[in-house]
Amino acid sequence: MSQPHEHEVWITGAAAVTALGETLDATWNAILAGRTAGQWLELPMPGCQVVRIPGAPVGNGLLKGIPLVSSCQRADRMALEVAQQALTSAHMVRADAAEAAVAFCSSKPAIGPWFPGPVKGRRSGGQESEKSVIENDDRVSNLLEVLVPQRTAVLIADVLDTRGPVLSSVAACSSGLHTLIRAVQWLQDGCGSLALAGSVESCLNPFFMAAFRQMRVLAVGRDDPAAACRPFDRERSGFVIGEGAGALVLETARRARGRDARPLAVVAGYSRGTDPTGLTELDPAGRPMASTIRRCLSAAAVPANRVAWIKAHGTGTLRNDQSEAAAIACVFGEHPPPVVSLKSHLGHTLGASGAIETALAARSVETGVIPGCANLACPDPACGPNHPVTPTPIGDGPAKYVLCLSAGFGGHLAALLMRPRQDADFQ
């Protein structure tokens, strides 16, 4: 949980690559226009089997020629792209990031089209045996380098030639927000003044997709995948698997003022928690998430009525939506601020969702606009009220804060609160 500290953290740059756009601006404008991403993907499995799933891959020129199953190559390309875009957004060049901490993550290991394949091993008696594990050829120079969770963080630090620490948190679908919080803590603790934080996910691979399908969390019951992810709707059936990356430049206010930077948003507070209900379950009453939200607001000394809108985790699964709605009702009562799920537009980008959606929330703080929920036709009363379907202004009242929520398998919970910049920030 965050504590009052002299090192206030500003978000001075933000970037995203998603199925709706190759930049944060393109994605934001597509969301405001009500666009949604999704298509049917047929992914080949060994043995001539095919997994058919609703997916939202990044389809712009950035990944041209790289097949969906090449998770490692696609993730690397997107991670490096958003890192550079975030620095540009913050009016920095690569040399300016020399002392930065790099906090970047994925929730899944990066694999490629070579996985699995036959590899010859040796039995204890010296005889050869074939195992369907990983093809042992020149394309995989170092298996550990490919599969370790912090590979994108190390790659970004190497390409940018940074000298700060490399930070990475793996917390399932809340990995992105957990890693952002870790970077904020590093700055608040006085360990440095600049961090590049974000997350990436590219796992439109038949092995991961078969697992999600087996868990019955995918929205497979509709003809149009772009309309299939329906958070808070009575007819919701699950999510569309998305792909993408997001990154933010975080600076101490002192450093940002020193270079006359203007924040997109200011980090006001954060909290992390755990829901021990089960590996893939959440407390139906939402008590652990409600506690996480309360600690976040308390750390920022912000009352609930100052929150302008809530960026929900909002996966579109029956249990997640109802549990999250129950948590929100515990904290905000029967009349909460607007609650929006960006996954209705982008699909569920899994470990990247925390960074992508926080970058979009920062754009909301900067512009004073609340995005709408897509695909919401029949609101479920069990999911609570106030889910706008079209963009609305934040308004001129005292409610200016935006609350970002994330949850992940294993009970990982996170909340982060942002506010707009004020005249006092520059004095």
Condensed to tens digits (0 to 9), the pLDDT of residues 326-343 reads 999 999 999 999 999 999
pLDDT score at 109: 77
Tokens of 176: 């992105």
Stretches in the chain below the pLDDT threshold 70:
1-6, 46-48, 111-147
CA distance 259 to 427: 14
CA distance 296 to 303: 10
CB count in 10 Å sphere of residue 328: 26
Per the domain annotation, does 2 fall within a domain? no
Given CA atoms 300, 305, 306, 308 in this order, what sign does their dihedral have?
A: positive
> Is the peptide bond prior to 116 cis by the omega test (within 30 degrees of 0)?
yes
Q: Which residue of the set 72, 173, 203, 404 is catalytic? A: 173
Per the domain annotation, does 274 fall within a domain? yes
pLDDT score at 280: 84
CA distance 15 to 249: 9
Helix, strand or coil, per DSSP, at residue 214: helix
User: Which phi and psi angles does 301 have, rounded to 5°?
Assistant: 55, 45
pLDDT score at 47: 64
Per the domain annotation, does 136 fall within a domain? no
Tokens of 278: 């089960």
Per the domain annotation, does 100 fall within a domain? yes
Per the domain annotation, does 130 fall within a domain? no
pLDDT score at 6: 56
* Strand-pair partners of 407: 413
pLDDT score at 192: 96
Q: What is the pLDDT of residues 296-328, one digit of tens each?
A: 999 999 999 999 999 999 999 998 999 999 999
Residue 387 falls in the annotated catalytic set: no
pLDDT score at 123: 39
Residue 404 falls in the annotated catalytic set: no
Per the domain annotation, does 126 fall within a domain? no
CA distance 414 to 360: 17
Largest CA distance in the chain: 77
pTM: 0.91
pLDDT score at 115: 55
Per the domain annotation, does 203 fall within a domain? yes
CA distance 88 to 66: 25
pLDDT score at 137: 44
Q: How many structural domains comprise the chain?
A: 1
Tokens of 248: 């933010």
pLDDT score at 151: 85
CA distance 312 to 406: 7
CB 362 within 8 A of CB 37: no
CA distance 14 to 34: 21
Q: Which residue of the set 348, 373, 383, 404 is catalytic? A: 348
Q: Which residue of the set 313, 345, 387, 412 is catalytic? A: 313
Q: What is the pLDDT of residues 364-394, one digit of tens each?
A: 999 999 999 999 999 999 999 999 999 999 9
User: Which phi and psi angles does 203 have, rounded to 5°?
Assistant: -135, 35
The string over 94-116, giving b where at least 16 C-beta atoms fall within 10 Å of a residue's C-beta and e elsewhere, is: eeebeebbbbbbbbbbbbbbbbe
Residue 313 falls in the annotated catalytic set: yes
Per the domain annotation, does 132 fall within a domain? no
CA distance 129 to 124: 10
Sequence letter at residue 351: G
* Residue ranges in 280-423 assigned as alpha helix (H): 287-300, 318-332, 343-346, 353-367
Q: What is the CATH number of the domain that holds 182?
A: 3.40.47.10
Tokens of 353: 């969702």
Domain limits for position 31: 9-116+141-422
